[in-house]
Amino acid sequence: MVAFRSIRDGGNEVYAMRDDGSGQHDVSNDPADDWGLAWSPDGRYLVFSPGLNVLRPDGSGLVEIPSPGAGEPEFADWGW
């Protein structure tokens, strides 16, 4: 599985696809510009900003972690 950002739909969105390039789909599917994309260490989840959003590469299981406000990290990072 490969994850990437694209502006093909007008905003920065997180996409995923199979290793052979097939099955490209928008996994973040939201109006905000998404950035700071990273894989979890075990490869099961993606994390991206703004704020911290965690989901599976098929787009399911979205968890939005509230932003701490001032001092919020610019880029999502698993930090381990």
Residue found under tokens 């502006």: 7
- Residues 12-65: tens digit of each pLDDT: 999 999 999 999 999 988 888 888 888 988 989 999 887 788 999 999 999 988
Which residue ranges make up each domain of the chain?
A: 2-65
Asked whether the beta carbons of 51 and 68 are under 8 A apart, the reply is: no
Q: Which residues of 19-38 are buried (b: 16+ CB within 10 A; e: fewer)?
A: eeeeeeeebbeeeeebebbb
Predicted model pTM: 0.78
**How far is Cα 56 from Cα 32, in angstroms, rounded to an integer?**
18
